Chains A and B, each alone.
Chain A
Amino acid sequence: MNRYTFTQAVDADGAVREKIGADVRFIAGGTNLIDLMKYNVERPDRVVDITKLPMRDIAEAPHGGLRLGALVTNAVCAYDTRIAERYPLLREAILSGASPQLRNAATTGGNLLQRTRCYYFYDVDTPCNKRQPGSGCPAIGGLNRIHAILGTSEHCIATNPSDMNVAMAALGATVNVRGTSGERAIPILDFHRLPDDKPEVDTNLRGDELITSVDLPDEAFATHYTYLKLRDRASYAFALVSVAAALRMEGGTIAEARIALGGVAHKPWRRPEVEALLKGAKPGLQTFSKVADALLEGSRPQSQNAYKIQLAHRAIIRALTQAADGTPQSVADKAIL
Chain B
Amino acid sequence: MTHDSNVPYIGRATSRVDGPLKVTGGAKYAAEYAAPGLLHGYVVSGAIAKGRITSIDVSDAMTVPGVVDVLTHEHRARTAWLSYNYQDMIGPPGKPFRPLYDDKIQYSGQPVALVVAESFEASRAAAALVRVSYKSEEHITDLEAVKGQSYVPPKRRSGIAPPPKPRGDADDAFDAAPVKVKQQYRVPVEHHNPMEPFATTVVREQDGGLTIYDKTQGSQNNQAYICSIFGLSKDKVRVVNAFMGGGFGSGLRPAYQLYLAVLASQTLERSVRVALTRDQMFTFSYRPETIQTVSLGAEPSGKLTAIRHHAVAGTSHFEDHQEVVVNWSGLLYDCKNAKLTYELAKIDTHTPADMRAPGAVLGVFAIESAMDELAYEVGVDPVELRLLNYAEKDENDDKEFTSKALKACFKEGAERFGWSRRSPEPRSMRDGRELIGWGMATGVWEAQLMDTQARVTIHLDGTLEVASATSDIGTGTYTVMAMTGADMFGLPLEKVRVKLGDSSLPTAPVEGGSWAAASTCSAIKLACQALTKDLLEHARALADSPLKRARPEDVVARDGRLFLRDAPGTGVAIQDILRSAKLDELSAKGEAKPDSKVQKTHSSYTHSAIFCEVRVDEQLGVVRVARIVNAVAAGKIINPKTARSQILGGVVMALGSALEEETFSDHALGRFMNHNLAEYHMPVHADIKDIDVIFVDEQDELTNELGVKGLGEIGIVGTGAAIANAVFHATGARIRSLPITVDKLIDSPAFTAEP
Contacts and interface: CB of A to CB of B under 8 A. Distances in A.
The answer to whether A binds B is yes
Interface of A: 1-3, 38-40, 43, 117, 119-120, 122-123, 125-126, 138, 141-143, 145-146, 230, 232-238, 240, 285, 289, 304-308, 310-311, 313-315, 317-318, 334-337
B681 A334 contact: no
A234 B671 contact: no
B666 interface: yes
B742 A138 contact: no
B754 A235 contact: no
A314 B687 contact: no
Interface in B592-621: 615, 617, 619-621
B621 A1 contact: no
Interface in B79-109: 108
Contact of B676 (A122, A308, A335, A336): A122
A120 B45 CA distance: 16
Nearest to B751: A310
Contacts of B558: none
Given A232-B742, A233-B660, A233-B684, A311 B621 contact: yes
Contacts of A145: 664, 743
User: Which 10 residue pairs spanning A and B have beta carbons closest together?
Assistant: A125-B47, A234-B686, A235-B686, A307-B743, A119-B673, A307-B746, A334-B686, A314-B619, A234-B687, A336-B617
B349 to A, nearest CB: 15
Give the interface centre of A1, A38, A335 by most chain B CB atoms within 10 Å.
A335
Given A119-B664, A311-B620, A318-B620, A233 B676 contact: no
B755 A285 contact: yes
B681 A120 contact: no
24 contacts: A1-B125, A2-B128, A3-B64, A43-B128, A119-B664, A119-B673, A123-B673, A123-B675, A125-B47, A126-B671, A141-B668, A142-B668, A230-B620, A232-B660, A234-B687, A235-B685, A236-B686, A240-B742, A307-B743, A308-B743, A311-B742, A311-B743, A317-B754, A337-B433
Given A117-B679, A307-B747, A314-B754, A233 B687 contact: yes
A204 B128 CA distance: 30
Interface string B649-685: 0000000000110001010110101111011010111
Interface of B: 45-47, 64, 108, 121, 124-125, 128, 277, 279, 433-434, 615, 617, 619-622, 624, 659-660, 664, 666, 668-669, 671, 673-676, 678-679, 681, 683-687, 741-743, 746-747, 754-755
Contacts of A313: 754
B36 to A, nearest CB: 26
B674 A1 contact: no
Contacts of B617: 336
Contacts of A120: 666, 673
Given A40-B128, A233-B684, A143 B754 contact: no
Contacts of B624: 234, 334-335
Nearest to B677: A236
Contact of A335 (B45, B615, B673, B755): B615
B620 A315 contact: yes
A336 B620 contact: yes
Given A232-B741, A233-B687, 5 more contacts: A123-B671, A143-B674, A233-B681, A305-B743, A334-B686
A70 B484 CA distance: 60
B678 A117 contact: yes
A334 B684 CA distance: 11
Give the interface centre of B45, B121, B619 by most chain A CB atoms within 10 Å.
B619
Contacts of A3: 64, 125
A232 B620 CA distance: 12
A136 B727 CA distance: 39
Contacts of A318: 619-620
Contacts of A240: 742-743
Contacts of A310: 746-747
Contacts of B683: 233
Contacts of A142: 666, 668-669
B686 A119 contact: no
A280 B727 CA distance: 41
Contacts of A335: 434, 615, 624
B668 A119 contact: no
Contacts of B669: 126, 138, 142
Contacts of B279: 39
A232 B669 CA distance: 25
B683 to A, nearest CB: 7
A7 to B, nearest CB: 19
Nearest to B743: A307
A315 B619 CA distance: 8
A146 B755 CA distance: 25
A143 B666 contact: yes
Contacts of A232: 660, 681, 741-742
Contacts of A233: 659-660, 681, 683-684, 686-687
A143 B747 CA distance: 17
B746 A311 contact: yes
